[in-house]
Amino acid sequence: MKLAFQGELGAFSHLAAIKLFPNSEIKACQTFEECFKLATDNLEYKIIIPIENSLAGRVADIHYLIPRYKLQIYAEHFHPVNHNLLGLKESKLEDIKTVRSHSQAIGQCQNIIKKNNLKPIISADTAGSAKFISEKKDKTESALASSLAAEIYNLKILVEHVEDDSRNVTRFLVMGKEIHHPELGNKKYITSCIFRVKSKPASLYKCLGGFATNNINLCKLESFSAKNTFQQVNFFIDIEGHIEDSSVQKSLEELGFHTESLDILGVYEADKFRLRK
């Protein structure tokens, strides 16, 4: 299996990829759009994309790439985010003056930054920051990144698990070009859709009414502007249930009646993380 992700080797997307598909052939892409285009043009590739974080919210750009490329979702994966403070092999914690990482990682590790009076430097991604530290070879600089990044770039973990909240989790989606759904069985499923409502009063209310009528739960409802305007919005929804379930079908039929566009993005098994109490 060929799997692509955004970022440098050692990124959290890389960790999620090898957790799900340990024997896959991995390809690192510089941008999210490069990932989406690769999967669109090459059926051999699937991509693993972070869509939201439990602390920082949704990942920028993804909600605009999803309707543009309309790739199918095959699976979801919730991955714990454990940040580590990395430095050169000869560095000590008292040597460190700056810390470099992605803006979300910087925001999620404020306690250690303030405690050690470190100057934060915003970078494109966590693993790229680790690579930069490895190449620059300045023992006063550090990076916030994964333990895999430390291994790949031959860095030392100065302090492990420096995230402010140990419950920090990112949700990833595995996506590809071809359409295929799992058969309906005795499992929990998620059906993901994206739709645009008609520009009429109470349209959204009417769109969602079918789910209430058919006793179908929505576990995600998120809006974002359509075509860079503020006049219309797209809605991304995750439905608890399989598209072949009659109640889900009735809900989607009613939804389609009140929308300008409706695209089914995928049907897939719910990650076991959702079942945790």
| Alpha-carbon span 103 to 247, nearest angstrom | 42
Q: 3-state class of 238 per DSSP?
A: strand
Active-site residue, 170 included: yes
Q: Hunting for tokens 């991604």 — which residue is that?
A: 125
Choosing from 32, 36, 172, 236, the catalytic residue is 172
∠84-90-94 over CA atoms, to 5°? 65
CB-CB contact of 79 with 101 (8 Å): no
CB-CB contact of 54 with 167 (8 Å): yes
Q: 3-state class of 230 per DSSP?
A: coil
Query: Checking DSSP bridges between strand 189-197 and strand 259-269, what pairing results, if any?
Result: antiparallel
Q: 3-state class of 161 per DSSP?
A: coil
User: In whole angstroms, how far apart are CA 57 and each of 51, 53, 62, 126?
Assistant: 9, 5, 12, 17
Active-site residue, 31 included: no
State phi, psi for 86 to the nearest 5 degrees.
-110, 145
| Alpha-carbon span 65 to 37, nearest angstrom | 10
Choosing from 5, 12, 32, 170, the catalytic residue is 170
User: In whole angstroms, how far apart are CA 191 and each of 45, 177, 179, 213, 249?
Assistant: 22, 17, 13, 18, 11
How many residues are given for the chain?
A: 277
Tell me the catalytic residues.
170, 172
